[in-house]
C-alpha cells in the first residue's frame, strides 16, 4: 500500500468515475485502474463496485476512505514540516559551550542566529569541555564549542574538531585600583588606557588571585603552568565561577586570569597579557563525524565562522584579542 494507491482510491471515491479521477490526478486511466486493483489485492478485499458508467464503494471501501484521507493528510503534514526544517523556518539545535565562551563568542552567535531564524529553537548546555565531549559522544548535543583537545580514543574515532580561534590569557584587576604589578614592570600608573607590559608568571604568583574551580579548563592550564615553573600562587578566593570572579576582581579582592575575549567585555577592569606565549587557548567546533548536519546546524556553524572572522578583525588601535584559525576539520 503506497500513497499513490491511496490518492487514486480517494479520488475515485470522490468522483465515482475512473476516467474523471485519472484526469484530475494526471495519470492514464489504465494506470489508475491497476493501482486500485493492486491495492485491493494487497488488502485482500474489494473496495469498489464497478458497473458501466458508475463506481460505488463497498463496505470495505467505506471503512477505508476516512483512514486513507487521514493518512494522506498526515503525509502532507510531514512533507510541509520537512520543508520548513529544510527552509530553516522550524527546528531545534542542541549546542554546548564552555562558560567563558557563553559570555563572549556564543552570546554574539546566538543573538544573530535568533534574529535570522526565529523559528529555530535553541537548547544550550553550559559545561566544561570534557563534559561537552561526553555529551557529544552520547548524542545529546549537535555540536559544541570547546577549548581542549580530545584525549579519549573512542572520542577521537567519532568526533571532528575544527579549530576556529586562538586567544591569549590576560590578567585583570579593578581599573580604580593601583597597579598590582607596578614594582615588577615599572609601570606605576593606577589607571589609563595605555597597553600594560606583559606579566611574568613569577610576578603573578605573588599577587592575590581569584581562582576558578578545579574543573575549569582555564584553571587546569594555569595550575600546570605554575607547577612547571615551581611556583605556588597566592590565592585570595578559590572556586568562583566566571561572573563571580570578574565581580570580585572589580571589587579589588584579587586579580583573575581570564580569556582575552572575556576581558574585552569589561571596561571596569584593566588587563595585561601573560608573558608566556604558550598560555593561549584554542577554540574549536566539535561535532560527530558520523552524522550529517541538519540544515539548521549547518547554518549555525556558518554563522559561528562569520562571528569568528569579526572577532579576529583588528580594532581601532590595530590589534585584535584573538587570532583566526582556518585549519580544516580533523578527527579528535
Residue 318: what pLDDT? 46
Do 160 and 327 meet the contact criterion of CB atoms below 8 Å apart? no
Alpha-carbon distance values, 259 to 105, 181, 205, 273, 317 (Å): 11, 19, 18, 10, 19
Asked if 137 and 279 touch (Cβ cutoff 8 Å), the reply is no
**Cα–Cα distance between 78 and 208 in angstroms, integer?**
60
| The predicted structure's pLDDT at residue 48 | 94
The whole-number pLDDT of residue 56 equals 92
> CA quadruple 305, 309, 310, 311: dihedral positive or negative?
positive
pLDDT at 328: 62
Question: How far, in Å, CA of 170 to CA of 100, rounded?
Answer: 13
Q: How far apart are CA 145 and CA 151, in angstroms?
A: 16
Domains and CATH numbers, the chain: 3-86 (1.10.10.10), 91-163+281-331 (3.40.190.10), 167-280 (3.40.190.290)
What is the DSSP-derived secondary structure letter of residue 294?
P
DSSP code of residue 197? P
Q: Phi and psi of 13, rounded to 5°?
A: -65, -35
Q: Is 21 exposed, middle or buried (0-12, 13-18, 19+ CB in 10 A)?
A: buried
Q: What is the pLDDT of residue 192?
A: 47
pLDDT of res. 283? 93
Q: What integer pLDDT is reported at residue 215 of this predicted model?
A: 81
Q: Of 225, 226, 327, which Cα lies nearest the Cα of 284?
A: 327
**Can you read off the three cell numbers belonging to residue 16?**
465515482
* 114 grid coordinates: 535568533
**What pLDDT shows up at residue 189?**
46
Is the pTM for the entire model greater than 0.75? no
185-to-196, 199, 209, 253 alpha-carbon distances in Å: 9, 8, 18, 21
Give the pLDDT means over successive 10-residue stretches in the chain (332 positions): 93 92 92 94 93 87 94 86 79 91 92 92 91 90 84 70 92 92 61 73 96 88 94 95 93 94 90 91 90 87 93 64 75 63
Can you list the positions of beta strands (E) in the chain? Answer: 48-51, 54-57, 91-97, 120-126, 143-146, 159-174, 209-211, 235-238, 256-259, 269-273, 280-288, 322-324, 330-331
Q: What does the alpha-carbon distance between residue 146 and residue 99 come to, in Å, rounded to a whole number?
A: 10
pLDDT of residue 209: 96
State the pLDDT at residue 165: 92
> Per residue in 22-32, is it b (16+ CB within 10 Å) or e — as a string?
beebebeeeeb
**3-class SS at 29?**
helix
Contact indicator for 175, 182 with CB cutoff of 8 Å: no
User: What is the Cβ-side half-sphere exposure of residue 266, based on CA atoms within 13 angstroms?
Assistant: 29
- Render the burial of 188-219: b for 16+ CB within 10 Å, e for the rest: eeeeeeeebebbebebbbebbbbbbeeebbbb
Cell readout for 168 is: 591569549
Of 74, 72, 73, 39, the residue nearest 58 (C-alpha): 39
Distance of CA 194 to CAs 45, 103, 180, 189, 305, Å?
A: 88, 25, 16, 10, 31
Amino acid at each position: 500500500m503506497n500513497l499513490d494507491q491511496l490518492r487514486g482510491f480517494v479520488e475515485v471515491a470522490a468522483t465515482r468515475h475512473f476516467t474523471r479521477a485519472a484526469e484530475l490526478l494526471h495519470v492514464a486511466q489504465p494506470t489508475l485502474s491497476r493501482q486500485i486493483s493492486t491495492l485491493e489485492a494487497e488488502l485482500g478485499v474489494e473496495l469498489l463496485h464497478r458497473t458501466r458508467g458508475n463506481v460505488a464503494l463497498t463496505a470495505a471501501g467505506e471503512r477505508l476512505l476516512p483512514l486513507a484521507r487521514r493518512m494522506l493528510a498526515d503525509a502532507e503534514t510531514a512533507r510541509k514540516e520537512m520543508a520548513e526544517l529544510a527552509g530553516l523556518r522550524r527546528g531545534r539545535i542542541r549546542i554546548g559551550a564552555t562558560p567563558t565562551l557563553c559570555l563572549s563568542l556564543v552570546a554574539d552567535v546566538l543573538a544573530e542566529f535568533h534574529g535570522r531564524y526565529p523559528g529555530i529553537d535553541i537548547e544550550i548546555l553550559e559545561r566544561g569541555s570534557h563534559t561537552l565531549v561526553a555529551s557529544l559522544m552520547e548524542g545529546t548535543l549537535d555540536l559544541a564549542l570547546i577549548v581542549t583537545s580530545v584525549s579519549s580514543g573512542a572520542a577521537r574515532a567519532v568526533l571532528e574538531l575544527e579549530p576556529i580561534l586562538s586567544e591569549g590569557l590576560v590578567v585583570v584587576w579593578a581599573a580604580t585600583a593601583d597597579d598590582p604589578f607596578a614594582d615588577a614592570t615599572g609601570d606605576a600608573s593606577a589607571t589609563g588606557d595605555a597597553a600594560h607590559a606583559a606579566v611574568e608568571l613569577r610576578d603573578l604568583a605573588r599577587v592575590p588571585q581569584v581562582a576558578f574551580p578545579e574543573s575549569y579548563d582555564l584553571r587546569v592550564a594555569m595550575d600546570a603552568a605554575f607547577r612547571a615553573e615551581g611556583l605556588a600562587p597566592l590565592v585570595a578566593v578559590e572556586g568562583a565561577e566566571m561572573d563571580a570572579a570578574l565581580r570580585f576582581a572589580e571589587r579589588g579582592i584579587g586579580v583573575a586570569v581570564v580569556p582575552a575575549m572575556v576581558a574585552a567585555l569589561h571596561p571596569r577592569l584593566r588587563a595585561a597579557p601573560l608573558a608566556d606565549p604558550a598560555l593561549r587557548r584554542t577554540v574549536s567546533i566539535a561535532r560527530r563525524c558520523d552524522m550529517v548536519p541538519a540544515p539548521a546546524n549547518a547554518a549555525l556553524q556558518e554563522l559561528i565562522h562569520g562571528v569568528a572572522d569579526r572577532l579576529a578583525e583588528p580594532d581601532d588601535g590595530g590589534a585584535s584579542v584573538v587570532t583566526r584559525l582556518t585549519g580544516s576539520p580533523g578527527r579528535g
